[in-house]
Chains A and B, each alone.
Chain A
Amino acid sequence: MTQHSTSTMSVARAIATKDLRIEWRSKVLVNQVLPFAGIVMVLFAFALDNDGILQRVAPGLVWLAVLFSSLIIVQRTFAIESADNALDAIKVAGVSPAGVFLGKSVALVVQLLLFECVLVLLSLVLYQVQLSWGGAVLLVTVSFLANTGIAAMGALYGGLGAAAKGRETLLPLLLLPAVAPVLIAATRATESAFGVSGATLGEGWPWAALLAVFGALFGFGGTLAFGVLTEE
């Protein structure tokens, strides 16, 4: 039993480092997806066309951009695998699916964190929001917790789409409703961090707790379910 759990963790570490190394070398994320997220932020500004409104809705826009980008990131994470039927190879090799799930999720958390850093910086510049030190601490916590939820759901439903080849279009339909609580909670917490819409810093932390519950629940559920979902 101990043997098995260590192997799950080592599989997770191997998958996570492999994924991150691939992204680091290919630069697709940085050269293509990150600019997309930036464009989305600019387009929001064009569409809303009012500094006051922009400032007020900046937290929501940041998280919408994160969610849209997460769709692309998740699809890419599994496209790497299905390109050489690597997912099949992993399965044939008898690697623990829980390990694969955890590894994929960790890699997704790291990638999403990168996006959030850039998007928050952009919102400071483009939407003229203010961020205090206390707000920054809240924001980092919230980003990390929100990412665990998005990554867990993304890895689950991304894996489902990858297992059924050529049906990646299903991902947004499954993922976006599922992560709606993350959008609500992360946006409200970020409002507190930015101090917009009359939200105070203290009001943000309960939302962070909700995000923690979400992340823990689906991190745990996903670890159990991933094997069944991707099974042939």
Chain B
Amino acid sequence: MNSIHPFPSPVDTPTGTRASRGLGIVVFLGMVFLTLLGLFFTDEDVVQGSTVRLMYIHVPTAWVAYLAFIVTAVTSAMYMWGKQHSLTFDRIAGASAEVGVIFMGLCLVTGSLWGRITWGTYWQWDPRLTTTAFLFVTYVGYLAVRDLGGSHHQRAKRSGVVALLAVLEIPLVHFSVVLWRSLHQEASVLQPNGDVTMDGLMLFSLLFGVAVFTLLFSWMVLHRQRVLALADAIEDGGLETALQERRNEAN
């Protein structure tokens, strides 16, 4: 959506290619259309009323967030067990986790806005919500591990291990929260779910939103991953320059 923005030489970013620009334009148009669909073209839901309109962005953000963490786990594994130990996989993992954290945050925000209208509270200790919050915190930790410093391969190994551990952690968190809630059931508020029967246009809008957000995700990760590659290269270059200066001093 930001392939066109009002800044000097807007379209010419160093990480852009013709293909990525094309994708950016498609994403931008898709987002505009999704907004029109969500806010104006679709009808209100019989059960949920107007709150269903929040679903058209909430569900896609949730989908992208979980997708992002799957991508992070898979690319981390590809780095760890690949023969080349290619840093590209590590950078895709990092980029994907970063974008995932953004969308997980948005998922929590839009979800709690929806909850405030529907349940009357911003937060419920529902297993899905709680697990999502834990996932968010876990990946904030993952990003902090990436910032620890050291060589690129050190970063890749450490964060790869953390990403794979998170894959073990999250189901356990979810399982224990489910058990926890099943013992302390509170029948305080009526909880209509998001999963209700939908008419054709509403279902289309939901699926369209998921598709557009998936494209947005790939566009963001594509660029982010290239920016990370630039940053890595600069760091390497900077190190070489510093070493060269040292050598010159010594001679």
Contacts and interface: CB of A to CB of B under 8 A. Distances in A.
Do chains A and B directly touch (beta carbons under 8 Å) in the complex? yes
Interface of A: 156, 160, 163-164, 167, 170, 173-174, 177-178, 180-181, 184-185, 188, 207, 210, 213-214, 217-218, 221, 225, 228-229, 231-232
A210 B161 contact: no
Contacts of A174: 141, 144-145, 162
Interface string B61-74: 00000000000000
B179 to A, nearest CB: 7
B157 A170 contact: no
Interface residues of B, number: 29
B138 A177 contact: yes
Interface string B123-138: 0000000000010011
8 contacts: A160-B145, A160-B148, A184-B177, A184-B180, A185-B176, A210-B175, A228-B80, A232-B154
Main secondary structure of the interface of B (DSSP, over half): helix
B144 A231 contact: no
Nearest to A210: B176
Contacts of A167: 148-149
Contacts of B148: 160, 164, 167, 170
Nearest to B166: A178
A4 to B, nearest CB: 22
Contacts of A184: 176-177, 179-180
B180 A177 contact: no
Nearest to A232: B154
B168 A217 contact: yes
A170 B180 contact: no
B11 interface: no
Contact of B145 (A170, A228, A232): A170
A207 B183 CA distance: 12
A200 B130 CA distance: 26
B140 interface: yes
A180 B173 CA distance: 7
Contacts of B175: 181, 210
Contact of A229 (B158, B173, B179): B158
B145 A181 contact: no
A173 B168 contact: no
B165 interface: yes
Nearest to A226: B161
Interface in B43-96: 80
Given A170-B141, A170-B144, A231-B154, A225 B161 contact: yes
B141 A177 contact: yes
Contacts of B154: 231-232
A210 B137 contact: no
B161 A173 contact: no
Given A174-B144, A177-B141, A188-B183, 5 more contacts: A174-B141, A178-B165, A180-B176, A184-B177, A228-B80
Contact of A188 (B138, B145, B180): B180
B150 interface: yes
B203 interface: no
Q: Which of B138, B150, B176 has most A Cβ within 10 Å?
A: B176
Nearest to A181: B176
B173 A181 contact: yes
B169 interface: yes
A232 B153 CA distance: 9
A164 B149 CA distance: 7
B104 to A, nearest CB: 13
A218 B168 contact: yes
Contact of A173 (B137, B157, B165, B176): B137
Contacts of B80: 228
Contacts of B172: 181, 213-214, 217
